[in-house]
Structure 1
Amino acid sequence: MAIGVLALLGFQLVDSAFIARLGTAPLAAQSFTFPLSFLIIGIQVGLGIAIAALISRALGAGEGARARRLGSLVLAAGALVIALLAVVLWAVQAPVFRLLGADGATLALIRGYWAPQLLAAWLGAALYFGYSLFRAHGDTRLPGKMMVVTSLVNLVLDPLLIFGVGPWEGLGLPGAAWATVMAFAVGLAVLGRRLLATDWLAREGLGAELRASARPFAGIAGPAMISQLMPPLAAMLAISVVAGLGEASVAAWGLASRLETLSLMVVLAMTMSLPPWLGRCYGAGDWDQVHRLMRLALRVVLVWQLALGLLMALAAPWVALALSGNPEVRDDLATLIRFLLPSYAALGICMIVVSAGNALGWPLRAMLMSGARLFLFYLPCLWIGARLGGLVGLAAGAAVGNLLAGLAAWQVLRRILASPRRRAATATP
């Protein structure tokens, strides 16, 4: 899954890199679509979390028939929800993009790109739901491999469809979206073939299962979707604080944000692969195994992220030099790396706890923990630091916010994991 996540991150970078060669206007047009794309991804990930949680719990409880019914329902319902959302986003594109600041020329570029991009988003969501089903059944290898395969297909098709080859003219900006459509279509074809070879789906009893499982599914998916939509909002608020420090600081912050995603690759992979294990243990009532898995996961995150963060902090001047040629941006980026990268050990702990919450039956607490991390710890500390110490204060404040969030998540996890044992001890004669 870590390799797959890295490939998926490269997917976005490759698209932007090729589009940048078309000029500033196409790149700006693509950038205007990011907020709506994040909306689709947030809903998609929230639904995927609910899929993995419910099916893994059913499997852990020995309810194989129910797991098959759930598999069929969530694939169909998830694809339908994203399709309806795509239709709505197509219908409201003009007023929404004008509200975001797009002018007439940019809207014309977006119009040719947005339809294939929405199709790509729907195919990508269907593919992600399939990945969630495989992960719920304990297979993380195929989703990881398919992430790599679709990224490679996209890498090959991007220059061909954007710029053309030989006498055939490229499609320009829409070519990037069509390359993604074809890459996801290849992934769906492979995944669908593998899925048909399993016995993970059912055709009978779906209506009764829908009535029985709609409420618990919504109880997990709703908070999970809200949790996924919080980070983009927090990112917009954070960049507004950074903007007060100057253009160089904004550029450095953007580069540091990309480093954050890459440095958290292992944590992101664990947030995908750990919940199905925990869901099975939850369904089977095996809390001892839950304790062992969580201790191992938190130990790996703490050691890996702290070691990586300290190494990056020591190498900050050279990392900044590799990423930016502007001396002012380079100095600001080095400062951000020194403070932020080591603090991602605490951030990783918080992310693991939030991810585990959806599998262990407390999605609302997981959502509140995610909200507290961003709006109670991270953003206030970042704002106070920027007001008191400029960029250095901002970097230190963000690091302190991450540290406080990690400590709070650890305390919440300890209390929650202790409660099943206390109940078991009370019930034991």
Structure 2
Amino acid sequence: MKSHHVDLLNEAIAPALTRLALPIMATSLVQMLYNLTDMAWIGRLGAGAVTAVGSAGMYTWFSQGFAILARTGGQVKTAHCLGAGENDSAAQYARGALQLGILFAVLYGLVSLFGASRLIGFFKLNSPEVIAQAEWYVRIACGLVIFSYLNAILTGLLTAAGNSRTPFIVNVAGLVFNVVLDPVLIFGIGPFPELGVSGAAAATVTAQALVSLLFFKAVLREKVLFPHLRLWVLVPVKVWREIVRIGVPSAVQNLIYAGISMILTRLITGWGDLAVAAQRVGSQIESVSWMVGDGFSAAVNAFLGQNYGAKRYDRVRRGYFCAIAMTAAWGLCTTFLLIGMARPLFSIFLQEEEVMALGVNYLRIVGLSQMFMMVEQTSIGAFSGLGRTLYPSIVSVTFTSARIPVAVLLSSVMGLSGIWWALSISSMVKGCILFVSFVVFLYVFLERKKIEKTV
């Protein structure tokens, strides 16, 4: 296991960030492929099935806000303790994060199982068949969300320890399993019945359960963070309190972000169920950018967190600018991909011409904002790595919330395209503000440390 770790305190910055980030980005791409695999198979059932999964999928996205609370708080405090050489405290924060994640998963699962009809009713979909499919997807995918929670938290904790290779390996195994199960459960092969949309949810949950099993097998060999896993032994309340303190801003940000997207989806249904299908497929294609950004954000979080804990402030500064250069380059590549290859990319999932026109327009408009979105995510990860999660959350929530009035205003003039432009413009603004803010914060922070050192 030792060879799987990156020395974030002593290795050269660019190689260390690259070695840590590449498996994380690959893991994020694997997680994205889970969704794309589902979408590719579900697309064969027609736009109605895509609309059902798109609507229900909003609640799987919303659920991640609670996992993010435990993951972010646990990852940041674990990285700080490891950087300071306090391994016992790091192990305690790791166990506390897992305990919180399990609690949140059980509560969210119960709400999803018994409240699926009310949850899907929010979107005011038109087709009774689509509504029924969406309700079953919520019951399965969100009712058993515990595996997704455990995987996210364990990924964050291992990343904090400099081990991003293990999460990549186990997630690839889960993807392979999901690819095999999807057609079997969706269309019914051999002794398995045809389950349609419910089969897609069942395949994903089963694959996530396999990933959880592989994760626990791996962490039992992790002697630093998990010398004795003992999840049934509760950590002191102060550990949970500190995890919650750091994790809440990021969690609230995700919850509000998902909630705003739900409201926008409800606006989109005003143009018909096909518009929802176009947005769902388009957002999944776009995830080739933002899921990589999210993965790289985790790497920056761990790198800055450990070096901050070790008081290696110059490496904090250089690490951030190195990360920005790498993620901005990826964002530019994604912009050219989404704009130049919009039609071929969308046609992989749906071929109906009416949906195709809507989806291509979506990809070309949001494609303009990809670099800014990557910079935003990297800066959020940098702020979080230093334990400053409140400010980036305020910025992100404020300008993401602005999407609703801007979308209403622009759509009254430009139609459905106005909603796409609201998404793109807000990402550009957030990226610029957070980049400038972190640069200013770094300058003030480092100058204060120089003064303290001379006193």
Aligned mate of 1:48, from 67, 71, 96: 71
Q: Are 2:81 and 2:87, in contact at CA under 8 Å, matched by a contact in 1?
A: yes
The alpha-carbon deviation at position 21 of structure 1 amounts to: 5.0
Q: Does 1:161 align with 2:185?
A: yes
Q: Are 2:40 and 2:348, in contact at CA under 8 Å, matched by a contact in 1?
A: no
Matches within 5 A, 1:227-246: 227-239=253-265
Structure 2 partner of 1:219: 245
**Residues 281 and 120 (structure 1 numbering): CA distance in 2 closer, same or farther, change over 3 Å?**
same
Q: Are 1:313 and 1:341, in contact at CA under 8 Å, matched by a contact in 2?
A: yes
Structure 2 partner of 1:419: 444
The letter of the residue matching 1:130 is: L
Matches within 5 A, 1:241-252: none
Alpha-carbon separation, structure 2, partners of 1:324 and 1:15: 13
The letter of the residue matching 1:43 is: F
SS at match of 1:92: helix
Q: Which moved more, 1:301-310 or 1:17-26?
A: 17-26
Alpha-carbon separation, structure 1, partners of 2:352 and 2:189: 35
The alpha-carbon deviation at position 289 of structure 1 amounts to: 0.9
Matches within 5 A, 1:184-333: 184-199=208-223, 200-201=225-226, 210-239=236-265, 253-310=279-336, 312-316=338-342, 325=351, 333=359
Q: How many residue pairs end up in the alignment?
A: 428
Aligned mate of 1:151, from 163, 172, 175: 175
Alpha-carbon separation, structure 2, partners of 1:168 and 1:251: 27
The letter of the residue matching 1:403 is: M
Q: Are 2:346 and 2:356, in contact at CA under 8 Å, matched by a contact in 1?
A: yes
Q: Are 1:162 and 1:176, in contact at CA under 8 Å, matched by a contact in 2?
A: yes
Over aligned residue pairs, what C-alpha RMSD do you find?
3.5
The alpha-carbon deviation at position 173 of structure 1 amounts to: 4.8
**Residues 213 and 347 (structure 1 numbering): CA distance in 2 closer, same or farther, change over 3 Å?**
same
Q: Are 2:112 and 2:143, in contact at CA under 8 Å, matched by a contact in 1?
A: no
**Residues 381 and 287 (structure 1 numbering): CA distance in 2 closer, same or farther, change over 3 Å?**
farther
The letter of the residue matching 2:394 is: L
Q: Are 1:38 and 1:232, in contact at CA under 8 Å, matched by a contact in 2?
A: yes
Structure 1 partner of 2:87: 64
Alpha-carbon separation, structure 1, partners of 2:182 and 2:282: 26
Q: Are 1:279 and 1:360, in contact at CA under 8 Å, matched by a contact in 2?
A: yes
Q: Does 1:10 align with 2:33?
A: yes
The letter of the residue matching 2:105 is: I
SS at match of 2:236: helix
Q: Does 1:134 align with 2:174?
A: no
SS at match of 1:264: helix
TM-score, normalised to structure 1, is 0.85
TM-score, normalised to structure 2, is 0.80
The letter of the residue matching 1:421 is: L
Q: Are 1:43 and 1:225, in contact at CA under 8 Å, matched by a contact in 2?
A: yes
Alpha-carbon separation, structure 2, partners of 1:331 and 1:94: 31
The letter of the residue matching 2:65 is: G
Aligned mate of 1:34, from 45, 50, 57: 57
Q: Are 1:355 and 1:366, in contact at CA under 8 Å, matched by a contact in 2?
A: no
Q: Does 1:365 align with 2:391?
A: yes
Q: Does 1:121 align with 2:145?
A: yes
Aligned mate of 1:87, from 110, 116, 119: 110
SS at match of 2:226: coil
Alpha-carbon separation, structure 1, partners of 2:350 and 2:45: 21
**Residues 174 and 278 (structure 1 numbering): CA distance in 2 closer, same or farther, change over 3 Å?**
same
Q: Which moved more, 1:63-72 or 1:195-204?
A: 195-204
Alpha-carbon separation, structure 2, partners of 1:241 and 1:110: 18
Of all paired residues, the percent bearing the same amino acid is: 23
Q: Which moved more, 1:263-272 or 1:126-135?
A: 263-272
Q: Does 1:407 align with 2:432?
A: yes
**Residues 237 and 266 (structure 1 numbering): CA distance in 2 closer, same or farther, change over 3 Å?**
same
Which runs of 5 or more structure 1 residues have no equivalent in the other structure?
A: none
The alpha-carbon deviation at position 57 of structure 1 amounts to: 0.9
